Structure 1
Amino acid sequence: MSTEFLDPIILSIRIAIIASAIVMVIGTLIGKIMANLKWKGKIFLEILFILPLVLPPSVVGFFLIIIFGVNSPIGQVIQSIFGSPIIFTWWAGVIAAVVVAFPLMYQVTKAGFEMIDNSIEDAARVDGANEWAVFYRISLPLSFQSIVTGFILSFTRALGEFGATLMFAGNIPGKTQTVSTAIYVAIDSGNMELAWDWVISIILISTSLLFIAQFIKIK
């Protein structure tokens, strides 16, 4: 297989793995907090967390540029630390993937934590367990299926991200070109054979992972 074919796939997988790992940690913690939160105004937080799932990818990419661009405070801090802006790097692709994949991880893990019988956690607290022990020894094991499912869904979402990645990370061959942007370029240039190869590869990877997620759900 040629480098032209493999590079976008390898980069997409690398971005998806890193983004999904980040999303798994953040999504699990926030999912647990939101599952137990009794504040009536939490609906506004719910909307905020789910919003990237329904917004057009171009809008997500626009806000990422505003937040992390070279003229933003965060962008300037990043540039001063690392010596270069994060925009139009493959790390920008990771950030874009984290933002679009987070709602899936959050929704699945929150649902998993909400299904836990609160009396089990309360019994552990009565026995002297602190909140971390309750979370680590009871909540996590009981919601493990949801966490793994959320990770797989987040991975497949991150793997196929296009719009936000194109705007924020660009489409630089060998540097920021993911398989989704590569397919777009291949079709635009009339190279349908190469486009088909990438499409089939991504379908096989995503379908395999979704089969695993369904198997875990059945188990």
Structure 2
Amino acid sequence: MTPLTPQELDAIALSLKVAFWATLFSLPPGILAAHALARWQFPGRQLLNGLVHLPLILPPVVTGYLLLLTFGTRGPVGAFLQETFGLVFAFRWTGAALAAAIMAFPLMVRAIRLSIEAIDPKLEEAAGTLGASRPWVFATITLPMMLPGVIAGAILAFAKAMGEFGATITFVSNIPGQTQTLPSAIYALLQVPGGEAAALRLVLVSVVIAMAALLLSEWLSVRAARRVAGR
């Protein structure tokens, strides 16, 4: 095994950057969507549930193409963001973060939703009868008790974002140093003669990062669960 090249290190660093921002910005809407699906009854609830899980069902290339149509420089949202805020997603690392966030969103929401559904609603109702407002009940009772699910969902989303390929390459292409993430770099290396050894190095890096994320998720979830239980 030879040392990683600067281009390979750039791909790893970009993947970590993309996964970090994808997880950070998807966490607040993920908590909101999970809480809405677990606790609220409203018209269109099943539609919201379907939209949340749609990236799991659609081919990733389709998701990437829809992102390109919507957030591209000529798309309705992309053109508005570029003209108003100077924010460009297409063929930029920001677009890779957006694609990764959308593809990882269902996993995050599902983990958080299961954690919320495990909380006894009577605890929240009891706090409400004592005069606590809904935001205060959520902040002091619901959020601390669902913390293990939030941690697990965030780390699983991070791991998923690290491995996202189909939607990313469709939306932002595979530009070395700009949009070439770890999966894109592996794909590019497999397309050239003699690139198998370098691809194998990056595959091993991907496995190590994914396993580390899963083990960290389990460890943090257990610690959070013990803290909630007061042990």
Q: Same fold (TM over 0.5)?
A: yes
Please state if 1:193 is matched with 2:205.
no
Rounded to whole Å, the distance in 2 between the matches of 1:74 and 1:18 is: 20
Q: Could you say which residue in structure 1 is the equivalent of 2:119?
A: 116
8 A contact 2:115–2:149 mirrored in 1: yes
Q: Could you say which residue in structure 2 is the equivalent of 1:19?
A: 22
Q: Could you say which residue in structure 2 is the equivalent of 1:178?
A: 181
Matching residue within 45, 50, 56 for 2:48: 45
Rounded to whole Å, the distance in 1 between the matches of 2:72 and 2:18 is: 20
Percent of residue pairs bearing the same amino acid type: 35
Q: Could you say which residue in structure 2 is the equivalent of 1:76?
A: 79
Where do 1:46-61 residues align within 5 Å? 46-61=49-64
Deviations 1:106-157 (A, max 9, x none): 1111111111111111111111111111111111110110000001110000
Matching residue within 8, 13, 29 for 1:10: 13
8 A contact 2:148–2:222 mirrored in 1: no
Rounded to whole Å, the distance in 2 between the matches of 1:22 and 1:74 is: 18
Distance verdict in 2 for CA 1:40–1:75, change over 3 Å: closer
Rounded to whole Å, the distance in 1 between the matches of 2:50 and 2:85 is: 33
TM-score by length of 2: 0.90
Distance verdict in 2 for CA 1:84–1:129, change over 3 Å: closer
C-alpha RMSD of the superposition: 1.5
> Which runs of 5 or more structure 1 residues have no equivalent in the other structure?
none
AA of the residue aligned to 1:214: E
8 A contact 2:55–2:106 mirrored in 1: yes
Please state if 1:105 is matched with 2:108.
yes
Rounded to whole Å, the distance in 1 between the matches of 2:82 and 2:52 is: 27
Matching residue within 91, 95, 104 for 2:94: 91
8 A contact 1:78–1:86 mirrored in 2: no
**How far apart are residue 40 of structure 1 and its match?**
6.3
Rounded to whole Å, the distance in 2 between the matches of 1:152 and 1:15 is: 14
Rounded to whole Å, the distance in 2 between the matches of 1:84 and 1:112 is: 35
Please state if 1:204 is matched with 2:188.
no
**How far apart are residue 215 of structure 1 and its match?**
3.5
AA of the residue aligned to 1:209: A
**How far apart are residue 214 of structure 1 and its match?**
3.0
**How far apart are residue 45 of structure 1 and its match?**
1.5
Range with bigger deviation, 22-31 or 150-159: 22-31
Secondary structure of the residue aligned to 2:174 is coil
**How far apart are residue 82 of structure 1 and its match?**
4.5
Rounded to whole Å, the distance in 1 between the matches of 2:44 and 2:98 is: 28
Please state if 1:213 is matched with 2:217.
yes
Rounded to whole Å, the distance in 2 between the matches of 1:68 and 1:62 is: 10
Q: Could you say which residue in structure 1 is the equivalent of 2:129?
A: 126
TM-score by length of 1: 0.95
